[in-house]
Amino acid sequence: MVTYIFRRILQSILVLLVVGLVAFAMFTFIGDPIDNMLGQERTQEDIDRLRGVLGLDQPFVVQYVKFVISAMQGNFGVSYEQGRPVAQILAERAPATLELAAVSALFALSLGVVLGVYTAIHRKGFVANLVLTLSLIGVSLPTFLIGILLIYLFSVQLDWLPSFGRGETVDLGGWTTGFLTSSGMRALILPSITLGLYQMTLIMRLVRSEMMEVMRQDYIRFARARGLSERAITFRHALKNTMVPVITVTGLQLGSLIAFAIITETVFQWPGMGLLFINAIKFVDIPVMAAYLMLISVMFVGINLIVDLLYVSIDPRLRT
């Protein structure tokens, strides 16, 4: 088991190094940072001096190692567009995205699992079929359309909830939260539904199909033949076995919420990292793009490690 986890950690580090390489390659090969940082009036002397300062005259590998080291210290360079350190910009934006993603994850996970189990048990039921059909519509509706629809309904027509922004926030020493004010909470409702709905339908459909798969297994037939109640079969035998594959995919899904927030944040003008990233793409602001990429992969690797640990705790076959 120790080997298993140790190997996963090694793999995670490898993943981060590869992502770092991609991010670094973006720096090096796309656009010339000198062009971006110096204005029109520049001398060859200026260019050479800046090259030296930035270390651009050193071999690729050395530059990459330096990049990794400074990235580990949270130093991602300076935004071409805003002229401020990228780390500082990201730190300002992170709380908005993380709070949004957390609420969405909670919503997607709880409703997704409950509905998935329900539709798997009542396969032929009317409600189950209705939920399934609605879920396919949910999968087919692009996130941005869901957002627009919700805004139209609850902001424009009913005027119940705000259509953009975070509402009032409270600054808790560098972390601005919307959880502590009623306007902040109200502002969270529509964006988190928008962000979580797609993941919710995915989780629900996955739980349902895995559960139906498990229900066909021999050990379920044998459990039935031994006279166990349907309740015990469903919740003790089937659900636990369903969770093994579901956890992996769910981990991936929840990780992708942070990235998917780009779309939601655009629709709701939510001042998070996603909105920052989409602007960075439009302005080809490579340092911001690269830093965002690294940040996402760190979070992802973290979530994957937690998933692996959960795995071990559920499946005894991994413990030996």
Partner 1 sequence: MGLLDITDLTVEFPTRRRLFTAVDALNLKVNPGEIHGLVGESGAGKSTVGAAVMGLLDPPGRIAKGNIVFKNQLVDTSDGAVMHALRGRRISMIFQDPLTSLNPLLTIGDQLTETIRANLQVSASDADGRARELLDRVGIPDPDSRLNQYPHQFSGGMRQRVVIALALCSEPDVIIADEPTTALDVAIQAQILDLIRDVVDERKVGVILITHDMGVIANTTDRVTVMYRGKVVETGPTAKILSAPEHAYTQSLIAAVPRPHKKVHRFPRINYDGDDPDFAIEDLARDWPRYDNAPGKPLLSVRDLTKRFIEKRSLLPWGNRYFTAVDQLSFDIMPGEVLGLVGESGSGKSTVARMIAGLYKVDGGRVTFDGDLVSDLSNRKVQRAYRQEIQMIFQDPFSSLNPRMRVDQIVAEPLRHHRLLSGQDIPDRVGELLEQVGLGADARLKYPHEFSGGQRQRIAIARALATQPRFLICDEPTSALDVSIQAQILNILKDLQDHLGLTILFISHALPVVRQMCDRVAVMRRGQIVELADSEQLFTAPKHDYTKELLRLTPRTENMFEKPEA
Partner 2 sequence: MSALSRFWDSDFAWDFRHSPVAVVSFLVALLLVLSAVFAPLIATMNPFVPANLNLMNGFTAPGVPNQFTNETFLLGTDDQGRDVYSTILYGMRISLFVGFAAVALGMIIGVTLGLIAGYFGGWTDAVIMRIADVQLTFPSILVAMLIFGVAKGITPVEYRDQLAIWVLILSIGLSDWVQFARVVRGATMVEKQKEYVQAARLIGRGALPILTRHILPNVLSPVLVIATISLALAIIAEATLSFLGVGAPSTQPSLGTLIRIGQGFLFSGEWWILFFPSVTLLALALSVNLLGDWLRDALNPKLK
Q: Cβ 320 to partner 1, closest distance in Å? A: 7
Per partner kind, with CB cut-offs from 5 to 8 A, the member of partner 1, partner 2, none near residue 278 is partner 2
Per partner kind, with CB cut-offs from 5 to 8 A, the member of partner 2, partner 1, none near residue 115 is: none
Half-sphere exposure of residue 249: CA atoms within 13 angstroms, side-chain side: 20
DSSP string computed for 59-127: -HHHHHHHHHHHHHTT---B-TTT-SBHHHHHHHHHHHHHHHHHHHHHHHHHHHHHHHHHHHHSTT-HH
Q: HSE on the CB side for 281, CA within 13 Å?
A: 8
Q: Is 198 exposed, middle or buried (0-12, 13-18, 19+ CB in 10 A)?
A: buried
The residues binding partner 2 (CB under 8 A) are: 11, 14-15, 18-19, 26, 30-31, 136-137, 139-145, 148, 151-152, 156, 213, 216, 252, 255-256, 259-260, 262-263, 266, 277-278, 280-282, 284, 286, 289, 293, 296-297, 300-301, 304
Residue 309 CB-half CA count within 13 A = 7
Query: How many helices (H) and strands (E) are present in the chain, helices listed first?
Result: 13, 2
The shares of helix, strand and coil residues in the chain, as percent rounded to the nearest 5, are 75, 0, 20
317 binds, among partner 2, partner 1, none (CB under 5 to 8 A by kind): partner 1
Out of partner 1, partner 2, none, which partner does residue 44 contact, by CB within 5 to 8 A per kind? none
Cβ-count burial of 116 within 10 angstroms (0-12 exposed, 13-18 middle, 19+ buried)?
A: buried
- Interacting residues toward partner 1 by CB under 8 A: 3, 6-7, 10, 217-219, 221-229, 232, 236-237, 240-241, 244, 314-317, 320
Q: Which is nearer to partner 1, 2 or 137 (CB)?
A: 2
Q: Which CB, 186 or 224, lies closer to partner 1?
A: 224
Minimal distance in Å, beta carbon 51 to partner 2?
A: 20
Which 3 state secondary structure label does DSSP give 164? coil
Tally the C-alpha atoms within 13 A of residue 51's C-alpha that lie toward its C-beta: 11
Q: Is 79 left (phi over 0), alpha (psi -120 to 50) or beta?
A: beta
State the binding partner of 226 from partner 2, partner 1, none, CB within 5 to 8 A by kind.
partner 1
Nearest to partner 2 of 25, 114 (CB atom) = 25
206 touches, from partner 2, partner 1, none (C-beta below 5 to 8 Å by class): none
In the complex with partner 2, which residue's Cβ is closer, 89 or 215?
215
Minimum distance from residue 289 beta carbon to partner 2 (Å): 6
CB closer to partner 1, 176 vs 241: 241
Identify what 252 binds: partner 2, partner 1, none; CB under 5 to 8 Å per kind: partner 2
What is the token pair recorded at 163?
């259509």
Nearer to partner 2, 166 or 208 (CB): 208
Shortest Cβ 243–partner 1 spacing (Å): 9
For 17, 67, 236, the CA distances from 62, given in Å and listed in that order, are 14, 8, 55
What's the rounded Cα separation, in Å, for the pair 279 and 307? 32
Minimum CB separation of residue 152 from partner 2 in Å reads 6
